[in-house]
Amino acid sequence: MINFEIPKKIQAEAQMADMVAKQIMRPISRKYDEGEHERPVEFTNAMWPFLKQQEKARWAKIESGEVKPERDGPNWTILRLILMIEILSWGDAGIYLCTPNAGLGGAAVEAVGTPEQKERYMKRFSTGEPKWGAMAITEPNAGSDNSSMRTTAVLDEETNEWVINGEKVFITNGKLSLEESDGFCVVWATIDPDAGRAGIKSFVVEGGTPGVSIAKQEHKLGIRASDTVALHFKDVRVPFDSVLGSPDVQKTSKGFKGAMKTFDASRPAVAASAVGIARAALEFTQETLAEEGIVIDYTKPKHQLTAVERDLMEMEARYRGSWLLTLRATSQLAFGESNRLEASMCKARAGEAVTWITQKSVELLGPLGYSRETLAEKWMRDAKINDIYEGTKQINLLIVARSILGYSRRELK
């Protein structure tokens, strides 16, 4: 029988995340929504000691041989991460994105980095002060179509260094990752612009590296507490072995395909965040309407329910369906199985569901939902980004269709 209870191994962490979400994040949610670009220090200070200790314990086990960095599932770290993301996003999605950890940059390192690179870049999150990782992919003229990427990495054979030039936009934790000396940002760049995707590789740029500057900080509709910036790279020099994977770069599609593995892990994470926001809106709507005597009688057939009751049931169904898809994609990842199809399925479904659920919440709550007296309108603003970043719904549905129908990218656009 399938069991959806939280595994005992991670129950304590889930309880801790729930406490942080309720006691720290919710009370400051409105404050950091209105104070965009302010750092939520209350949250950072609460999370860092716990996260640092977790990483310290994980690396101690790796070095003692108790567990190996590469192993068969279940990978409890992945399961724990997805569960914590859902809970913390219930608290506040924008503040959750300020969690001091390796973030998307770490996901890229774990996906295609060598064992030596994983130790070099990831072990630092077990020591010292709070630090962040980030990933820079999107460009002003290259969003969903990465083949048109124009940020370049040219090898200087005299110094054996890569020289990066270009601009990246909409980078989560871009400022935090580079202003801290121990942080880093994984930058996607092309070694051959004429080769399209085949020439794309990913490079680790350390915090404090000369030539990196913040072009602007984004003003956003939602997740306003999140650090989102545009970065400019001007003759940025990084070591030869900072290219993720083998430093022996060949002009084949392997580099791009390897980098794309990052999304197999990041898309379920985005879906989990969407589910957390959806749960927040659903629970608040149910509780508020229950105070007015509107409680669903699940024993009645649908045609005997009121329009409001049917909407509430549909909200719950979309929320639960999205969470089950997310858990499936996460389980496959945790057991070392390919989850490319399922990662895109859960991301597309959760992004669509949270957008609909939060809009329906505002609608059902009426003026109360539309006013700033509650967080309902904020959840609606926070929700939409989950339908956009880490691949828009349209891009993910294309991936799903290609996978199911057996079409290539050229055959189905």
User: What residues are labeled active site?
Assistant: 390
Could you give the residue ranges of the DSSP H alpha helices within 35-71? Answer: 41-64
Quote the CA–CA distance of 244 and 150 in Å, as a whole number: 19
* 43: its two tokens: 């949250």
**Residue 240, class by beta-carbon neighbours within 10 Å (0-12 exposed, 13-18 middle, 19+ buried)?**
middle
C-alpha separations of 269 from 91, 175, 338 in Å: 16, 21, 16
> Which one-letter DSSP state was computed for residue 109?
H
Q: How many other C-beta atoms are found inside a 10 Å radius of the C-beta of residue 114?
A: 14
Cα–Cα–Cα angle for 343, 249, 234, rounded to 5 degrees: 85
Quote the CA–CA distance of 103 and 171 in Å, as a whole number: 11
Give the SS3 label for residue 154.
strand
Which amino acid, 119? E
**Residue 159, class by beta-carbon neighbours within 10 Å (0-12 exposed, 13-18 middle, 19+ buried)?**
exposed
Q: How many CA atoms lie within 13 A of 232 on its CB side?
A: 7
Asked if 55 and 343 count as a contact pair (C-beta separation under 8 A), the reply is no
Which amino acid, 64? S
Q: How many residues are recorded in the chain? A: 413
Quote the CA–CA distance of 323 and 55 in Å, as a whole number: 27
Quote the CA–CA distance of 365 and 162 in Å, as a whole number: 55
Pairing mode of beta strands 184-190, 133-136: parallel
